[in-house]
């Protein structure tokens, strides 16, 4: 069987640290034929480092030599490149978030429908062993229907001082669209992606606009900082459930925290660390597994799933429609914070 030919579009940090090394581990089924970046030197350096034969600067020149592409560009270009790739007959794995807006996401989904190709979004937290275990228990009705979820994606003084993370024009936002989106997407998926009905949110950038920054992840200009570094939100759903959400790059907290907690009728589940909490047989029971199945490296799990989906062996875990919902809620959080208007869903 011919190997799946992979092209990498955007040769920066996420491509070099995650996607390229992961695809190289599946050489029996896939091969990276080319890497593309607007910066010719960056593309060539990545190709040389990983033994990729071809480096180019125009992503459209990739399509004649690939079956699938991985999009690792700034958020602004996700939709444009995804649509072009799908229309050229390519399968697509696009880095999160799906796009800068829900409207752009919808265009991507339409292009997928026209092409009949795979459109996968790289929300890799779903591939973590804890996430997979929680989903399995929820589907087995161990805790009943989740009706309250709490998610926190919190960092202490870790604004990314490299790349374009604080460039609103290229990224669309800050801590929410870059980091918090992972825990937001994961929570929605574990809840079964119920339809949202109301979103209330507040986005702040007070801390990062102060002088004399203490920041552990590089330097940035506090005078021009114009993206969010802390966001809170409450999301209500048509089935009566609710999600309490908070994320930050730079909170004044004791230490970093990633947590998702779900409460259902028969019990609850905490992730990171994993625990199931139940009340039954006249007892309060907390269950912590001795071992969880799955891949320790979630990047490998995600890559394997994408390759197998392209080859028709399975379905990708992150559906485009679900990733679109995550972006739709991100849009609503930003809008409510800026204008006070509540989105009508």
Pairing of strands 54-56, 119-122: unpaired
**Angle at the Cα of 267 (from 265 to 271), degrees rounded to 5?**
125
Q: What are the beta bridge partners of residue 121?
A: 94
Same domain, 114 and 240: no
Asked if the structure places residue 22 within a domain, the reply is yes
111 lies in the same domain as 161: no
The answer to whether residue 317 sits within a structural domain is: no
Question: Is 246 found in the same domain as 134?
Answer: yes
pLDDT in 10s for each residue of the chain, 345 residues: 579 999 999 999 999 999 999 999 999 999 999 999 999 999 999 999 999 999 999 999 999 999 999 999 999 999 999 999 999 999 999 999 999 999 999 999 999 999 999 999 999 999 999 999 999 999 999 999 999 999 999 999 999 999 999 999 999 999 999 999 999 999 999 999 999 999 999 999 999 999 988 999 999 999 999 999 999 999 999 999 999 999 999 999 999 999 999 999 999 999 999 999 999 899 999 999 999 999 899 999 999 999 999 999 999 999 999 999 999 999 999 999 999 988 778
Q: Which of 45, 112, 224 is nearest to 15 (CA)?
A: 45
Q: What is the pLDDT of residue 1?
A: 58
16 in any annotated domain: yes
* Residue-level pLDDT at 342: 80
| Residue 307, domain member (yes or no) | no
CATH (domain of 186): 3.30.360.10
Q: Are residues 85 and 139 in the same domain?
A: no
Q: Looking at the domain assignment, is residue 302 inside a domain? A: no
Taking the mean position of all CA atoms in its chain, how far away is CA 100?
13
- Determine the pLDDT at residue 132: 97
Rounded distance between C-alpha atoms, residue 181 and residue 123, angstroms: 8
286 lies in a domain?
yes
Does residue 305 form part of some domain? no
Q: Are residues 114 and 136 in the same domain?
A: no
What pLDDT, on the 0 to 100 scale, is given for residue 222?
A: 93
Range of the domain at 155: 126-296+326-344
Strand 148-154 relative to strand 242-248, pairing: parallel
On whether both 171 and 113 belong to a single domain, the answer is no
**316 assigned to some structural domain:** no
- 175 and 111 in a common domain: no
**Residue ending a domain, choose from 94, 122, 150:** 122
Whether residues 105 and 210 fall in one domain: no
User: Of 127, 124, 113, 227, whose CA–CA distance to 167 is shortest?
Assistant: 227
Place of tokens 């996401």: 105
Write down how long the chain is: 345
Question: How many structural domains comprise the chain?
Answer: 2
State the CATH number of the domain containing residue 31: 3.40.50.720
Look at residues 122, 157, 173 and tell me which one is the last residue of a structural domain.
Answer: 122
């Amino acid at each position: 069987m011919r190997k799946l030919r992979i092209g990498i579009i955007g040769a920066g940090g996420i491509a070099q640290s995650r996607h390229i090394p992961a695809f190289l581990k599946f050489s029996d089924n896939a091969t990276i034929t080319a890497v593309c970046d607007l910066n010719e030197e960056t593309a060539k350096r990545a190709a040389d480092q990983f033994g990729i034969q071809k480096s180019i600067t125009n992503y459209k020149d990739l399509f004649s030599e690939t079956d699938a592409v991985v999009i690792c560009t700034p958020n602004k270009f996700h939709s444009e490149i995804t649509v072009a790739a799908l229309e050229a007959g390519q399968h697509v794995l696009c880095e999160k978030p799906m796009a800068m807006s829900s409207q752009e996401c919808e265009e991507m989904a339409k292009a997928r429908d026209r092409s009949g190709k795979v459109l996968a979004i790289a929300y890799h937290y779903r591939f973590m062993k804890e996430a997979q275990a929680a989903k399995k228990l929820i589907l087995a009705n161990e805790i009943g229907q989740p009706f309250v979820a709490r998610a926190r994606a919190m960092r202490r003084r870790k604004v990314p001082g490299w790349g374009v993370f604080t460039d609103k024009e290229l990224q669309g936002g800050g801590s929410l669209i870059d980091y918090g989106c992972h825990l937001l997407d994961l929570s929605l998926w574990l809840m079964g992606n119920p339809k949202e009905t109301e979103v209330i949110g507040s986005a702040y950038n007070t801390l990062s606009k102060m002088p004399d920054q203490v920041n552990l992840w590089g330097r940035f200009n506090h005078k021009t900082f114009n993206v969010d570094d802390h966001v809170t939100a409450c999301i209500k759903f048509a089935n009566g459930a609710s999600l309490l959400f908070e994320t930050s790059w730079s909170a004044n907290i004791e230490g970093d925290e990633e947590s998702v907690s779900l409460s259902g009728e028969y019990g609850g589940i905490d992730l990171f660390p994993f625990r199931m909490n139940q009340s039954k047989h006249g007892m309060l029971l907390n269950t912590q597994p001795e071992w969880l199945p799955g891949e320790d490296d979630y990047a490998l799990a995600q890559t394997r799933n994408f390759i197998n989906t392209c080859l028709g062996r399975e379905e990708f875990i992150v559906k485009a429609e679900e990733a679109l919902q995550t972006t739709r809620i991100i849009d609503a959080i930003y809008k409510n914070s800026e204008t006070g208007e509540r989105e009508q869903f």
